[in-house]
Amino acid sequence: MNPKEVIRIKHAARATAVPVDRARHSPSDIYTSQEIYDLERERIFMKDWICCGRIEALEKPGDYLSLDLMGEPFVISRTAAGELRAFSNACLHRAVAVAPPGEGNKRAFICPFHGWSYDLEGRLLGAPRMDMAEEFDKRDCRLPPLRVDEWQGWVFICFDDNPPPLADHVATLERDFGFMRQQDCRLAVTTVNEIDCNWKLVVENVIDLYHVNMVHKTTNGRQFTSEAFKFQARNDGGYYATFNSGPSTLTGQPVFGRMPWLAELPDNFAATGRLRPNFTFFARIDTAHALCIWPIGLKRTRVTVYTLLPKMYFDAPDFADRAMAYQEYQNKVISEDREVLEMMQRGLGSRLYRPGRMAHIEEGVHHIEAEYLARLAAFLDAEAPC
């Protein structure tokens, strides 16, 4: 990156790092620069623990998830011994994907180009016509492994060779949301949407309580009042916040009733927390929700919402049909956000835009932006030529 641009970005970032009542929003470059996006890929998404979804997709031996993180294809699988494994999804021969996209169940992974095959741990099983290759031994060949671990039914991977334990990474969120008893819940609904905006705009938006009454008048904003919003900053850009919103349904009522272990909470209870970089958790009296925010380009983001319900409800008549009420609600909320976020992304590209001042109710957004900009400044310093 041009040294003058680095200086300009770091100068603008200082205007965000001050207390919220004097702060401005982040410089537009961090949402529009391909160089910064590439830097985030290497210094954030290739270093941090990344939530990839729920364990329900990986319950049986042979189950797998095939994903792509900013151009890095990988597979998570459940082995015959019942263990989780993660490894590259690029064949050792010519880099063709050995596992189809999405999820499924396989006894082995076979490259569709030349037929090289791999077991559920990524070890090479067969390599047709390679018997004449000198000093080639398939026993020495294995798809590069990744770190993989699970917390409360959420599956995380890490590309870094020496990350901190996942248990350390999630410790604060576990402390804040242990009362939700996710171990007694299962995945009920998965909702997937894509938005034409930078991934950080989505991260900020989910704690931007300023927009709720304006954008979500018939959904999240029906009951919300700024006086009820209580924000607590956590380390590394995390947070815990409570507010008043109520069940995530279009009727504003639980579909199956409240979680039995939340009997003492008010009907309009809502709470949220975050794990850097791409996981945001939401609690309601009837459900637990989580967003996995997945960059698929500088200006395009996939938002997957997972809805958990108590296991006891899954035997209810017409469970699947009734549970779709949560997906209808999530799709409506995302559609409301999509319009303004895509307008924001376009506006950030304007040469005339200058970051605006923050309102006090944006303390959650301010916390995220300030932490990110401090991290970015360290990255830029590390990238600077000696």
Q: Which residues contact 208 (CB under 8 A, 6 or more apart)?
A: 362, 364, 365
Strand partners of residue 157: 50, 148
| pLDDT for 269 | 92
Sort strands 288-297 and 239-244 into parallel, antiparallel or unpaired: unpaired
Same fold, 50-162 and 171-368: no
Share of the chain above pLDDT 90, in %: 79
Lowest mean pLDDT among 15-19, 30-34, 217-221, 347-351: 217-221
pLDDT at 29 over 70: yes
| pLDDT for 131 | 87
The average pLDDT across 357-366 equals 93
At 221, the pLDDT band (50, 70, 90 cuts) reads low
H-helix or E-strand spanning residue 31: helix 29-32
pLDDT at 71 over 90: yes
Q: How far apart are CA 241 and CA 244, in angstroms?
A: 10
pLDDT at 8 over 80: no
Q: Do 371 and 325 meet the contact criterion of CB atoms below 8 Å apart?
A: no
Q: Which CATH architecture has domain 50-162?
A: 3-layer Sandwich (2.102)
| pLDDT for 17 | 85
Residue boundaries of the structural domains of the chain: 50-162, 171-368
| pLDDT for 385 | 57
At 229, the pLDDT band (50, 70, 90 cuts) reads confident
Locate tokens 């799709």: which residue? 331
| pLDDT for 228 | 83
The average pLDDT across 74-103 equals 97
At 384, the pLDDT band (50, 70, 90 cuts) reads low
| pLDDT for 323 | 95
| pLDDT for 215 | 81
Label residues 176-212 b or e (16+ Cβ within 10 Å = b).
bbeebebeebbbbbbbebebebbbbbbbbbbbbbbbb
Residue pLDDT, tens place only, 190-213: 999 999 999 999 999 999 988 887
- Beta strand spans in 215-316 (E): 230-233, 239-244, 269-275, 279-284, 288-297, 300-310
| pLDDT for 40 | 95
| pLDDT for 209 | 86
Share of the chain above pLDDT 70, in %: 99
Sheet containing strand 300-310, strands side by side: 185-195, 300-310, 288-297, 279-284, 269-275, 239-244, 230-233
pLDDT at 91 over 80: yes
- Give the amino acid at 6: V
Residue pLDDT, tens place only, 270-316: 999 999 999 999 999 999 999 999 999 999 999 999 999 999 999 99
pLDDT at 226 over 80: no
Lowest mean pLDDT among 21-30, 112-121, 205-214: 205-214
Locate tokens 């976020």: which residue? 341
First to last CA, the chain: 14
Of 259 and 381, the structure prediction assigns the larger pLDDT to: 259
| pLDDT for 93 | 95
Residue pLDDT, tens place only, 31-54: 999 999 999 999 999 999 999 999
pLDDT at 224 over 90: no
Q: Tell me phi and psi for residue 24, to 5 degrees.
A: -115, 160
Q: Which residues contact 333 (CB under 8 A, 6 or more apart)?
A: 216, 219, 220, 248
Q: How far apart are CA 76 and CA 99, in angstroms?
A: 10
pLDDT at 386 over 60: no
pLDDT at 26 over 90: yes
Closest CA to 182 of 213, 205, 150, 156: 150
In this structure, which CATH number among 1.10.150.570, 3.90.380.10, 3.30.56.10, 3.30.1360.120 belongs to the domain 171-368? 3.90.380.10
Locate tokens 């901190």: which residue? 164
- Give the amino acid at 380: L
H-helix or E-strand spanning residue 210: none
Mean pLDDT score across all residues of the chain: 93
SS (H, E, C) 327-347: HHHHHHHHHHHHHHHHHHHHH
Q: Do 53 and 69 meet the contact criterion of CB atoms below 8 Å apart?
A: no
